[in-house]
Amino acid sequence: MEDNKPAEATRFYFINPNGLQLLSDGGSFSEFCAEASRISVDHLGISEHNLDSHQSNVKRICHDVARRAFDFYRIAMSSSDTPTETMFKPGGTLSLTIGSMTARIKETGLDPMGRWSYTKFKGTRGKIITVITAYQVCDSPVTTATNKKSRPVAAQQASMMRQQGITGTHPRKQFSKDLLSFLQACKNQREEILLAGDFNEALGTNISGMTKICTDLGLVDILRNHHGTKDTPTYVRGSTRIDYALATPQVAAACTTCGYEPFQHRFTGNQRGMFLDFDTNALFGSATVELSTPAEREFNSRDRACNRQYIEAKFEYLTAHHWFERLSASHIETTHDPAIAESLDRDWLRASKHAANKVKKKPRCPFSHKLTEARKKKSVLPRIVSQTTLMVDFSASIAHFSRHGYSFLIPTSLLECKQQLHKVQAEIRKIERDAVHYRLDEQQRRIADLLASGKPGDANRIKHQIKAEEIKAMYRKI
């Protein structure tokens, strides 16, 4: 897949990362968002994120990360209703719509058992395209584990099925039945369908599973349709294709480019990423309108602490300017005076701007070579660990992340590699806290090197850059 998406294309990307590591700073989800932005993904589908999406802390971190990464976004996360003591909960799906594509969203939704999430997009003349990210459990006996910290996905779903009075049925069979019912309802509403994810089932191996859904609804296997009958194993330890995309004929015909990427090419995990580029006009009936970038906002209305600061600052400003007394007096006046209304409106706007300046949003981390190298090391080391433990060649993926070179030595043992991975994760958090100082130190060293090399013009350009960044930081405080 080319990193640069064609201007007339809409890009979908689906992958099972075998779990997201969600730290306070976003963890691997932050890396997913950064890479999705870099390769111009419009809709990202993640199967098996292994997070309890019902926990407020999980929602907060995911939304904070997405807000920092994108100007516009919409998230639909699913997981079972089974309670957990930590953020970790096996299974679940995530559908993330990015950028101007959010303007096409009609609605989002999810399955209460966490088996799929969906987004409905609007096209021209009432056209609706429903995009579903799904995850089906493995074909293995359902365990009776009761440990809430690590209850398997199948056990969670079986427990919820028993609560609904469904017994003696494997969660896979119920998945096929419920998904078929959901998709049939979509088709009855004359909606187009794009279904993708990790199904843990090769097409054609189970006539009552995904094969039946594909046959009953007349869905097209997009990747096989484009690349022929040869199946590419999508699981690192498997030999069959268990990740695929099915669509109604009209959606499939709009697909211009699609394919599977090498293991761990962009994201860590044991399964291949799957991309699909569609002709936007053919898919939706018109080009997607580019949303204008919002003005620099000083705070986020979903942040409760910021809301409190904003309201208090605005109330203080209005009180100091006797705004409430003037408003009450204007109601008593028997004659209409437009000047009074204009002055009230003007001071209300000034109060809003004043309060917004008192509340600051979290700035993005300034660039520094030290931070870039640390992040590169954090991308390479997990792939080396996976290559050693899985006995699979990930050299192409490692080369992709190391294409501009790296300044660290590759560990000679698995234990040392894991130790360095933990160390670099802590190092990244430390660098991000002091990113401004690291950047300034690097700029000062660069200036000294340029002056020593007899290049005062280049040194002056960096000095001007430092001055501009200082002025920007000053105005941010005003």
Torsion of CA 430, 436, 441, 442, to 10 degrees: 90
Q: Is the pLDDT of residue 101 over 90?
A: yes
Whole-angstrom distance, CA of residue 381 vs CA of residue 148: 31
**Given this model, what pLDDT does residue 461 score?**
92
* Interval 241-290: pLDDT, tens: 999 999 999 999 999 999 999 998 888 888 999 999 999 999 999 999 88
pLDDT digit string, tens, across residues 168-220 = 899 999 999 999 999 999 999 999 999 999 999 999 898 889 999 999 999 99
Q: Could you report the per-residue pLDDT of 387-420, keeping only the tens digit for each?
A: 888 888 888 877 877 776 777 778 888 899 899 9
Q: Determine phi and psi for 316, rounding to 5 degrees.
A: -60, -40
pLDDT digits (tens, 9 = 90+) for 19-48: 998 887 788 899 899 999 999 999 999 999
Rounded distance between C-alpha atoms, residue 445 and residue 181, angstroms = 64
Q: What is the 3-state secondary structure (H, E, C) of 390-404?
A: HCCCCHHHHHHHCCC
In this prediction, residue 149 carries a pLDDT of: 46
Residue 363 confidence class, pLDDT cut points 50, 70, 90: low
Cα dist. 395→142, 388, 407, 415 in Å? 37, 11, 18, 19
Q: Which range has highest mean pLDDT (164-168, 230-234, 337-341)?
A: 164-168
Looking at residue 435, its pLDDT comes to 84
Lowest mean pLDDT among 143-147, 165-169, 285-289, 341-345: 143-147
Average pLDDT over every residue of 288-304? 66
Give residue 397's identity as a one-letter amino acid code. S
Give the Cα separation of 41 and 131 in Å (integer): 14
pLDDT at residue 129 in the model: 97
Judge whether 52 and 85 are in contact, CB under 8 Å: no
**How many of the other CB atoms lie within 10 Å of CB of 277?**
23
| 3-class SS shares of the chain: helix, strand, coil, % to 5 | 45, 15, 40
For residue 360, what pLDDT is reported? Answer: 61
Strand order of the β-sheet with 43-47 is: 73-78, 93-98, 43-47, 9-15, 274-279, 255-260
> 301 pLDDT band (50/70/90 cuts)?
low
- pLDDT confidence of residue 267: 85
* Mean model confidence pLDDT for the chain: 88
Where residue 476 falls among pLDDT bands split at 50, 70, 90? low
CA separation for the pair 304, 285 (Å, rounded): 40
Question: Distances from the Cα of 100 to the Cαs of 11, 267, 288, in angstroms?
Answer: 12, 24, 7
Q: Computed over its alpha carbons, how large is the radius of gyration of the chain?
A: 26
pLDDT at 346 (0 to 100): 92
Instruction: For residue 197, list its beta bridge partners.
Output: 134, 244
The whole-number pLDDT of residue 292 equals 63
Per-residue confidence band for 300, with pLDDT thresholds at 50, 70 and 90: low
Query: 297 pLDDT exceeds 70?
Result: no
Q: Confidence band (pLDDT; 50, 70, 90) for 122?
A: very high
> What residues have CB less than 8 Å from 134, skipping those under 6 apart?
47, 93, 115, 116, 179, 195, 196, 197, 198, 199
Q: Average pLDDT in the 228-235 region?
A: 84
Per the CB < 8 A criterion, the answer to whether 15 and 36 are in contact is no
Per-residue confidence (pLDDT) for residue 2, from 0 to 100: 84
d(CA 247, CA 214): 9
